[in-house]
Amino acid sequence: MADQSYLTALAPFLALAKSATGRAAADLVVQATQAPGCFVFSELLETPNIQKLAENADGVKYLELLKIFAYGSYTDYKGVSSPNNASTLPPLNDRQLEKLKQLSLVTLASLGQSHLTYPSLLVTLDLPSIRALEDLVISAITASLLSAKLDTKHQLIEVSSTAGRDVAPAEIPAMIATLSNWCSVCEDVLEDIDAQVKGIQRDAIQRRRHVDEYERVLAVKREALKGEEKGQGKGKRVISEGADDGGAARGGWGDDDEMDLDDSSFGGDVGGANTSKRRTKGRFAGFIGRGGKK
């Protein structure tokens, strides 16, 4: 991670700050602010020997310079070190100047896209040309301070992310207020989500009850229909059985009766009936005769 590499670059200066006092502490500020890869300074700023620079007029300038590198910008440096300002800061060498402008790009990126146009940056950072501006942006990208693209057509720097910088003590109350508001919004959102979840659960329980009631009523109706079908089936079987046994059981028409009806009804006269009887008697007598001969 870039932030960890920045702390690693600062570590040697933290070790030296334990013993550096007076002029040595001021020189340590100059060394740290020009060292490659060193872009965070709050830990160095908080060391006792660096804080003691505020005790004399010459040392306080270096203390203020370190504060600007920690959480200020090139604009802050110009305002404090102007010729009309009594507390003029120490002059910057080329490496310090480049680093402060790189850090200023990080700060400007947090202010919005309108501060990242080529014309605006050329004025804010006192750059002589577009080529110098693009070189500065590329160096900041290489140092992992920015994740950005150069839009030369629209004269704009498109920044997607930046490295973190040290936080000034004066900015802490505003940060706390912002975080508190954010927490309040999160709590409101969570309450709304909980209310929606409970509403969904109630609806689900109600739907389940409706489904269970529907299935119960449906089962009752099915059982009722099955009972009706069984009753109708028994009635049909009783009628069918009665129709099959009707002739014999109710003393109805038998086979012999039908034969008698045929013989009597289709004959048409008494003679036909008598002839049938005589034929029957003749057959019976012949049978007896043959039996007697044997």
> Mean pLDDT, to the nearest integer, of 188-195?
94
Cα 218 versus chain centre, distance: 40
17: nearest Cα among 4, 8, 26: 26
pTM value surpassing 0.75: no
Would you tell me how many other CB atoms lie within 10 Å of the CB of residue 34? 17
Q: Which secondary structure element, helix H or strand E, spans residue 17, and what is its range? A: helix 2-17
Q: What is the dihedral of CA 15, 16, 17, 18, to 10 degrees?
A: 70
107: nearest Cα among 169, 162, 65: 162
Q: Inform me whether the pLDDT recorded for 167 exceeds 70.
A: yes
* Angle at which helices 94-109 and 57-71 cross, to 10°: 50
For residue 10, the model assigns a pLDDT of 87
Q: Contacts for 15-22 with beta carbons within 8 Å, 24 or more apart?
A: 17/44, 17/47, 17/49, 17/50, 18/47, 18/49, 19/49, 20/49, 21/49, 21/52, 22/59
Task: Summarize pLDDT for 220-243 with one digit per residue, the tens.
Answer: 888 888 888 777 765 555 555 554
Q: Which of 127-136, 233-242, 248-257 has the highest mean pLDDT?
A: 127-136
Q: In degrees rounded to 5, what are phi and psi of residue 156?
A: -150, 145
Of 100-109, 233-242, 278-287, the poorest mean pLDDT is in: 278-287
- Given a contact cutoff of 8 angstroms between Cβ atoms, the answer to whether 70 and 76 are in contact is no
Q: How far apart are CA 188 and CA 176, in angstroms?
A: 18
Q: Inform me whether the pLDDT recorded for 1 exceeds 90.
A: no
